[in-house]
Amino acid sequence: MNGGTEENPAYQIGSPIFDKVIIHLNPEYYPGKTFEIECNNNTPDNVFVRTIQLNNAPVKLYAITHEDIVNGGILKLEMANSRPPTELVHN
């Protein structure tokens, strides 16, 4: 992430601090109403992101785009205490 200066900025996904975050998007600028991040099994021992879903569709990278956020929706993270499955890819 270069501070959002890239043509198509992407945001890396890591171990969250909060169980749930709701970002209210300004309708004058963005098509979505809110962007929510929900974390299941978020404990001090569960530091690995096991699965990622955006609007109930699997995400295969540890990243989402700026467009994903401003369109609104729900990002769900499933946390675990062991390394994630190999199908998730670091971008």
pLDDT tens column, 13-59 = 999 999 999 999 999 999 999 999 999 999 999 999 999 999 999 99
Q: Is residue 34 part of a domain?
A: yes
Q: Is residue 22 part of a domain?
A: yes
Provide the number of structural domains found in the chain. 1
Domain housing 37? 10-80
Q: Is residue 28 part of a domain?
A: yes
Query: What is the model's pLDDT at position 85?
Result: 64
Residues 53-68: what's their mean pLDDT? 95
CATH number, domain of 39, equals 3.30.2080.10
Long-range pairs, 43-49, Cβ under 8 A, ≥24: 43/79, 45/81, 46/79, 46/80, 46/81, 47/15, 47/79, 47/81, 48/15, 48/79, 48/80, 48/81, 48/82, 48/83, 48/84, 49/13, 49/14, 49/15, 49/77, 49/78, 49/79, 49/80, 49/84, 49/88
Query: What is the model's pLDDT at position 89?
Result: 60
- Give the pLDDT band (50/70/90) at residue 3: low
- Give the pLDDT band (50/70/90) at residue 73: very high
pTM reported for the whole predicted model: 0.88
